Chain A
Amino acid sequence: MFAIIYKKIFLIIAAVIVTVCVALIAWFGLNPGIDFTGGSLTEVSYDVAPDKEQVEEQVATMDLGGVSIRVSLDDAGKDAYLIKTRDLKEAEREILAGMVTSLGEGGEITRFTSIGPVIGQELQDKAGWAVFGVVTIIILYIAFAFAGIGTPVSSWMYGLVTICVLIFDVLVPAALMAVLGYFLGVEADVLFVMALLAVLGYSVNDTIVVFDRVRENLKINRVEIKKEKKEAGLMHEEIEYRLTKPYEEIVGSAVQQSLARSINTSVTTLVTLSALYLLGGSVTQTFALVLFAGVLAGTYSSICVASPMVVAYAQWKGKKEAAMDAAMGVK
Chain B
Amino acid sequence: MSSTPEINPTEPQSASFLRWFRVVVILSVVVWLGFGVYQNTTNPEAERPFKLGLDLAGGSHLVYEADTSGVDPLEVPELMNALRDVIERRVNLFGVSEPIVQVESSSFVSENQIERLVVELPGVSDVAQAVAEIGRTPLLEFKLYSAELDQQQAANESLNALRETASSSGAVIGNVSINGEAVVETEEEILSPFVDTGLTGRYLETAALEFAGGNSGQLSNEPLVSVRFTSEGATLFADITRENTGEQLGIFLDGELLSAPVINEAITGGTAIISGGFTPDEARELARNLSFGALPVPITLQTTQTIGASLGAEVLDHGIKAAILGLSLVLTFMILWYRLPGLVAGISLLAYITIMLTLFQLIPVTLTAAGLAGLILSLGMAVDANVLVFERMKEEFRSGSSSRKAAETGFTRAWSAIRDGNITSLLSAIILFWFGTSIVKGFALVFGIGIIVSMFSALVITRTLLIALPDVKLRDKGLLSELLGSGIVFNRKLATLPKDTTSPDVGPQ
Interface residues of A (CB under 8 A from B): 74-76, 88, 90, 93-94, 108-116, 118-119, 122-123, 125-127, 129-130, 133-134, 137-138, 141-142, 145, 190-191, 193-195, 197-198, 200-202, 204-205, 208-209, 212-213, 215-216, 220, 253, 256-261, 264-265, 267-269, 271-276, 278-281, 283-284, 287
Q: Mark B464-493, 1 if CB is under 8 A from A, else 0.
A: 000000000000000000000001001100
Known A-B contacts A119-B303, A208-B424, A213-B417; the reply to A261 vs B330 at CB < 8 A is: no
Q: Mark B320-355, 1 if CB is under 8 A from A, else 0.
A: 011101110110011001000000000000000000
Are B388 and A272 touching (Cβ within 8 A)?
no
With contacts defined as CB atoms under 8 Å apart, how many contacts are there between chain A and chain B in the complex? 239
Are B420 and A201 touching (Cβ within 8 A)?
no
- Point out the residues of chain A lying under 8 angstroms from B144, CB to CB: none
- Point out the residues of chain A lying under 8 angstroms from B427, CB to CB: 134, 137-138, 141
Are A130 and B432 touching (Cβ within 8 A)?
yes
Known A-B contacts A75-B315, A281-B318; the reply to A141 vs B443 at CB < 8 A is: no
Known pairs A133-B434, A215-B416, A287-B373 / 20 extra A-B pairs, C-beta < 8 Å: A75-B314, A118-B65, A126-B435, A134-B427, A138-B427, A190-B440, A194-B370, A200-B428, A201-B424, A201-B429, A208-B420, A209-B417, A261-B387, A267-B333, A268-B387, A271-B333, A272-B380, A276-B322, A281-B317, A281-B318
Known A-B contacts A123-B437, A260-B490; the reply to A94 vs B128 at CB < 8 A is: yes
Dominant secondary structure of chain B at its interface with chain A: helix
Are A133 and B380 touching (Cβ within 8 A)?
no
For the complex, give the distance between the alpha carbons of A114 and B435 in Å. 23
Known A-B contacts A268-B334, A271-B330; the reply to A205 vs B308 at CB < 8 A is: no
Checking B311, B330, B447 against A268 with a beta-carbon cut-off of 8 angstroms, the contacting residue is B330
- Point out the residues of chain A lying under 8 angstroms from B65, CB to CB: 116, 118
The segment from B42-50, B102-110, B214-222, B246-254 found at the interface with A is B102-110
Are B308 and A113 touching (Cβ within 8 A)?
no
Q: Which residue of B lies closest to A253 (CB)?
A: B495
Checking A111, A213, A261 against B311 with a beta-carbon cut-off of 8 angstroms, the contacting residue is A111
Are A119 and B417 touching (Cβ within 8 A)?
no
B295-321 contacts to A, CB under 8 A, are 301-308, 310-311, 314-315, 317-319, 321
- Point out the residues of chain A lying under 8 angstroms from B83, CB to CB: none
- Point out the residues of chain B lying under 8 angstroms from A118, CB to CB: 65, 114, 302
Are A204 and B417 touching (Cβ within 8 A)?
no
Q: How large is the interface on B (under 10, 10 to 19, 20 to 34, 35 or more residues)?
A: 35 or more
Q: Which residue of A lies closest to B109 (CB)?
A: A129
For the complex, give the distance between the alpha carbons of A249 and B109 in Å. 46
Are A190 and B439 touching (Cβ within 8 A)?
yes
Q: Which residue of A lies closest to B389 (CB)?
A: A261
Are B443 and A194 touching (Cβ within 8 A)?
yes
Are A268 and B417 touching (Cβ within 8 A)?
no
- Point out the residues of chain B lying under 8 angstroms from A269, CB to CB: 380, 383
Known A-B contacts A119-B63, A268-B333; the reply to A198 vs B373 at CB < 8 A is: yes
Q: Mark B367-402, 1 if CB is under 8 A from A, else 0.
A: 001101110110111011001100100010000000
Are A125 and B110 touching (Cβ within 8 A)?
yes
- Point out the residues of chain B lying under 8 angstroms from A272, CB to CB: 326-327, 329-330, 376, 379-380
Are B318 and A280 touching (Cβ within 8 A)?
yes
Q: Which residue of A lies closest to B500 (CB)?
A: A220
Are B383 and A75 touching (Cβ within 8 A)?
no
CB of B55 closer than 8 Å to a CB of A = yes
Known A-B contacts A208-B424, A284-B319; the reply to A202 vs B377 at CB < 8 A is: yes
For the complex, give the distance between the alpha carbons of A265 and B389 in Å. 12
For the complex, give the distance between the alpha carbons of A94 and B132 in Å. 12
Dominant secondary structure of chain A at its interface with chain B: helix
Are B384 and A283 touching (Cβ within 8 A)?
no
CB of B421 closer than 8 Å to a CB of A = yes
A-B contact pairs, 7 of them (CB 8 A): A88-B304, A122-B114, A194-B440, A205-B381, A260-B487, A268-B383, A276-B319
Are B127 and A112 touching (Cβ within 8 A)?
yes
A92 to B: closest C-beta gap in Å: 11
For the complex, give the distance between the alpha carbons of A106 and B131 in Å. 24
CB of B431 closer than 8 Å to a CB of A = yes
Are A208 and B421 touching (Cβ within 8 A)?
yes
6 cross-chain pairs, A with B, having the tightest CB-CB distances, nearest first: A275-B326, A75-B314, A272-B326, A212-B417, A279-B322, A116-B302
Are B311 and A110 touching (Cβ within 8 A)?
yes
- Point out the residues of chain B lying under 8 angstroms from A93, CB to CB: 127-128, 304
Q: Mark B101-121, 1 if CB is under 8 A from A, else 0.
A: 000001101100010000000
Are B370 and A110 touching (Cβ within 8 A)?
no
B87 to A: closest C-beta gap in Å: 16
- Point out the residues of chain A lying under 8 angstroms from B495, CB to CB: 253, 256-257
Are B315 and A283 touching (Cβ within 8 A)?
yes
Are A115 and B391 touching (Cβ within 8 A)?
no
B325 to A: closest C-beta gap in Å: 4
